[in-house]
């Protein structure tokens, strides 16, 4: 087993992107501005580390609505790194290409796919992705897929940090994943690729 990227570890990823209250301005595109990542060990049932990567947008700006939602400001994300650098960092320092990864829903995966395609940046993740929202919905027999904050309430867990901040949301999603794993309903076939 590789000591730098142990197989039992999984990355939980949540992104925040530029957004607007109404339609997006002409010429602007939604771009990732924050990547939150929590490393979990499914065997020990622990959240091991949390990371935050700020990403500098190039084809959009942070709207007032976006700041109200995420608390991220244009000045703050201007201090971030490029999207290409962020993807390299995910691959080299967070083993994104080899570790299974999890997000709440498919938005994060689709946003990375779109942005990598339009910027011609190599996609940093491997093919082993799990949609934790779908697993949670099935495990609890819900008709509608809940948002992360609602799922925490259903599971009897408290929201830690600020909702709609990538680092905090990844940390909370990780708590939900570990909760599902403790209940024995996490899909083990998706945790470790063959």
Note the pLDDT tens digit of each residue in 123-158: 999 999 999 999 999 999 999 999 999 999 999 999
What tokens appear for 186 in the block?
Answer: 């996490």
177: CB partners within 8 A, 6+ apart:
10, 12, 40, 42, 102, 132, 186
According to DSSP, the residues that pair with 101 across neighbouring strands are 11, 129
Share of the chain above pLDDT 90, in %: 91
Q: How far apart are CA 123 and CA 165, in angstroms?
A: 22
What are the helix and strand counts (H, E) for the chain? Answer: 8, 5
**Largest Cα–Cα separation, the chain:** 49
| Banded pLDDT at 43 (limits 50, 70, 90) | very high
Q: How far apart are CA 37 and CA 123, in angstroms?
A: 16
Q: Tell the CATH superfamily of the 9-185 domain.
A: Ribonuclease H-like superfamily/Ribonuclease H (3.30.420.10)
Q: In this predicted structure, which of 6-10, 13-17, 60-64, 187-191 has the lowest mean pLDDT?
A: 187-191
Residue among 176, 185, 156 at smallest CA distance from 38: 176
Domain limits, the chain: 9-185
The pTM (predicted TM-score) of the whole model is 0.93
**Other Cβ atoms closer than 10 A to 191:** 18
Say if residues 157 and 175 touch (Cβ distance below 8 Å). Answer: yes
Say if residues 84 and 119 touch (Cβ distance below 8 Å). Answer: yes
Q: How far apart are CA 106 and CA 123, in angstroms?
A: 15
Q: What are the pLDDT digits (tens) for 6-31?
A: 778 999 999 999 999 999 899 999 99
Q: How far apart are CA 68 and CA 59, in angstroms?
A: 20
17: CB partners within 8 A, 6+ apart:
30, 31, 32, 33, 111
């Amino acid at each position: 087993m590789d000591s730098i990227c142990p197989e039992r570890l999984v990355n939980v990823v949540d992104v925040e992107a530029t957004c607007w209250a109404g339609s997006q301005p002409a010429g602007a595109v939604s771009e990732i501005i924050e990547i939150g990542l929590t490393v979990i060990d499914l065997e020990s049932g622990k959240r091991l580390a949390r990371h935050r990567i700020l990403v500098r947008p190039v084809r959009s700006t942070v709207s007032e609505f976006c700041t109200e939602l995420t608390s991220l400001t244009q000045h703050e994300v201007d201090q971030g790194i490029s999207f290409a650098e962020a993807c390299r960092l995910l691959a080299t320092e967070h083993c994104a290409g080899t570790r299974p990864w999890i997000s709440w829903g498919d938005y994060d995966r689709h946003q990375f796919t779109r942005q990598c395609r339009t910027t011609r940046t190599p996609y940093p993740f491997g093919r082993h992705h799990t949609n934790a929202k779908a697993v949670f919905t099935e495990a609890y027999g819900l008709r509608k897929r809940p948002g992360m904050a609602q799922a925490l309430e259903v599971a009897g867990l408290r929201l830690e940090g600020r909702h709609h901040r990538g680092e905090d949301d990844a940390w909370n999603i990780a708590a939900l994943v570990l909760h599902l794993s403790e209940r024995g309903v996490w899909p083990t076939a998706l945790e470790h690729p063959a």
